[in-house]
Amino acid sequence: MPRYRITIEYDGTPFAGWQSQPGGIGVQDAVTAAIQRFSGEHIIVRAAGRTDAGVHALGQVVHFELQKTWDAFRVREAINHHLKPAPVAVLDCAEVDATFDARFSATARHYLYRILTRRAPPVLDRDRVWALRSWLDADAMHDAAGYLVGHHDFTTFRAASCQAKSPVRTLDRLDVSRVGEEIHIQASARSFLHNQVRSMVGSLKLVGEGKWQPHDVQRALDAVDRAACGPVAPAPGLYLVRVDYGAADACSDARSDDGSTEE
């Protein structure tokens, strides 16, 4: 059976998240339905990460199998045709080896969080940024972010409902920069805990407001206590930007992790 890998972008606003679930339409439902319409096959699609309701993606990666072999270009065009009018698009498609797994073969995931800092509300970027009317100190936030980079127990920064087997993760990157009226927070790791990025952003926002000092983030991390975390940042400012995949033999190494990702 041929296996296909597709990279998709989507506006998470109208969806209940990536995953199919009772009481709401997930991005997974839209993609699955589009593939089934053109192929006539019952298929299962699996993604690199299960983004939460309202979270967007610029480079979500998905894999699925079909009984019939199709040209990858035709697969991309057919899925995009049947996705209309859902705010989801397939950016590229390729046939891959049967060992490829969108979730477990991933070697790194990259997220961006956007905070708009101006008094006027967003119009074109409504539901795509966290809109704050106060100015934030990006330099102080960046200094604070440095305390979180590395191999740590991130219990403080994960949702109480997180189902990951271990709260220990290695955060490879957490950078904060100002881009005009926006604060951009970029996070990279092989995998993330449920709500980890949004939890870290919420605490960094307190630093930017001057309510916390940068070293207070270190104290929160060391507390290993969810109660020590700042308020969780809202979903609309978060984007799954890219998922990286290494050599074929990296797949077996990745399976030692539980594959949890930010939702």
- Positions annotated as catalytic residues are 52
Query: Taken in order 139, 141, 144, 145, is the CA torsion positive or negative?
Result: negative
Q: How far are the Cα atoms of 13, 78, 86, 92 from residue 72, in angstroms, in the given order?
A: 29, 10, 21, 8
Q: Tally Cβ neighbours within 10 Å of residue 199.
A: 24
Calpha distance 8→27 (Å, rounded): 10
Q: How far are the Cα atoms of 28, 127, 157, 253, 260 from residue 51, in angstroms, in the given order?
A: 10, 15, 17, 23, 11
Calpha distance 170→149 (Å, rounded): 7
Q: Tally Cβ neighbours within 10 Å of residue 197.
A: 31
> Which of 23, 41, 260 shows the shortest CA–CA distance to 32?
41
Calpha distance 76→185 (Å, rounded): 31
Strand partners, 154: none
254 contacts 104 by C-beta, under 8 angstroms = yes
Tokens of 128: 């795509």
Strand partners, 182: 116, 179
Q: Tally Cβ neighbours within 10 Å of residue 137.
A: 17
Q: Tally Cβ neighbours within 10 Å of residue 69.
A: 11
